[in-house]
Structure 1
Amino acid sequence: MASLIDPLIEFVSAHVWLAYLTLFLAALLEAVPILGSVIPGSTIIFALSALVPGGDLQLEWVLSAAVAGALLGDGSAFWLGHREQREILNCWPLSNYPHLVARSEAFFRRWGTLAVFFARFVPPIRAFVPITAGALGMSPPIFYAVNIPAILLWAPAHVLPGVLAVSALHRYGGFASHAGIAKYCWILAVIAGALLIALWTWIARRRREGAVIKPAVQSDRGKL
């Protein structure tokens, strides 16, 4: 992954408008079902934020590009599901990934409206919940009332850690080149991703344990 991210940063640092376009597309494609589960959009956004402290990119435009891409991606997926209804979940290419569709539907049914908010921070469910919400009949006003605040939190959560990390590297680490910065941003992105996966695994395990304990308790009460 580093071999892909490093040249990307070097290239977009020399073509600023492409940097903003890359940020926009990374955020947009993360919301596309199937494609969003394999595109490292969050890593790209985190890595490109390394160019903000050096003045290559402007923070407000980086945030704007990420927000705009996420809004368009989530909104398009939602409206596709809203228009096609549940049939879309059984059509190609979603039909080739029944386990991810099932996870997304279970996630949505468990958390309801809040699933739209939580999913923005949980890959790869993030790429499936908007279309699932539309397919299962969530109304557009409710979807956007939850989705927009989630994206407005998600964008800074992805951009600002990279900005702060690189600012610290500039100040205390003595790194001035984009290559050195890119390397350490990629490492930080991998660590952040691992922590998110660990957190999600812990939550899922706790939920399964709770599901096992609850029937057992009810069974004991029935015997009494």
Structure 2
Amino acid sequence: MHIDAWIEGIPPTAVYAVVGLIIGLESLGIPLPGEIALVTASLMAVKGVVSPWGVAICAIAGAIIGDSIGYSIGRKGGKPLFEKLGRKFPKHFGPSHLATAERSFQKWGMWAVFFGRFIALLRIFAGPLAGALKMPYWKFLIANVLGGVVWAGGTTLLVYKVGKSIEPWLARFSWAGLGAALVIGLLSAWIMKRRAAKTHAKIEAEEAAKAAAAAKEPVAD
């Protein structure tokens, strides 16, 4: 069963907790479909099953708390933690993904935490990597709170408003909103994978060049 169908099948009062938990675990560093869970709950709010404010508040809380816990784990474990995870879960925490995430932090600084909230693969790195790179907590907290509010609150509001405007057709085409979210999520994941692949190829080329240069160096007597 897909997670969207599962969420739609649980009691309405449990939806808030489940959405907050999924988003919190994803923000902590566990690859879960937080965006799909959020959009599904927002569509349920359009139908009047749950409150959009309840969904938004729980999603924002999950995002901020999850990222904060991830920051603490990353600060304690440091880069060796990512190296260990990369060996166990190369699909999500491989060296190329980590290198891409690090370059985002070098380019944007604290705002990588904010912008990372909108990119599927970077979202699981933001908190732990910010901690591992020893980003000052107050900087992390500002970007974390702003990112959580804009992403979680904004997504809920957008889906709810759009859903309400097309409510007469939503009963027959409820998949449209979820389909659009899936396309956006897949597109952002594809972009990150391409960047990761390019970074990985560059790293391999640099290492090969260093190895070749070292092989040409004369051996001291």
TM-score range, shorter chain: 0.7 to 0.9
Matches within 5 A, 1:33-52: 33=29, 35-36=30-31, 39-52=32-45
Residue in structure 2 matched with residue 88 of structure 1 by the alignment = 81
Cα–Cα, structure 1 residues 146 and 53, in superposed 2: closer, same or farther, change >3 Å?
same
Residue in structure 1 matched with residue 146 of structure 2 by the alignment = 149
SS for the counterpart of 2:46 is coil
Residue in structure 2 matched with residue 211 of structure 1 by the alignment = none
Sequence identity (%): 25
- Answer yes or no: is the 8 Å Cα contact 1:81–1:131 preserved in 2: yes
4+ runs of 1 displaced by more than 4 Å?
A: 194-198
Q: Deviations over 1:6-37 (max 9, x none)?
A: 5324313xx1121111211221122133x32x
Q: CA deviation at 1:67?
A: 0.7
Unpaired runs of 5+ in structure 2? 89-93, 200-221
- Answer yes or no: is the 8 Å Cα contact 2:27–2:67 preserved in 1: yes
Q: 2:183 aligns with which of 191, 196, 200?
A: 191
Q: Which amino acid aligns with 1:142?
A: K
Q: Deviations over 1:80-128 (max 9, x none)?
A: 111233332222x234422222221121122212211111111101101
Residue in structure 1 matched with residue 71 of structure 2 by the alignment = 78
Matches within 5 A, 1:202-221: none
Q: 1:138 aligns with which of 135, 145, 155?
A: 135
* Cα distance in 2 for residues equivalent to 1:29 and 1:155: 14
Q: CA deviation at 1:163?
A: 1.0
* Cα distance in 2 for residues equivalent to 1:82 and 1:88: 10
Matches within 5 A, 1:30-179: 30-33=26-29, 35-36=30-31, 39-91=32-84, 93-96=85-88, 97-171=94-168, 173=169, 175-176=170-171
Q: Which amino acid aligns with 1:4?
A: H
Q: Which amino acid aligns with 1:16?
A: P
TM-score normalised to structure 2 length: 0.76
* Cα distance in 2 for residues equivalent to 1:190 and 1:136: 31
* Cα distance in 2 for residues equivalent to 1:80 and 1:106: 20
Residue in structure 1 matched with residue 19 of structure 2 by the alignment = 23
TM-score normalised to structure 1 length: 0.75
SS for the counterpart of 1:128 is helix
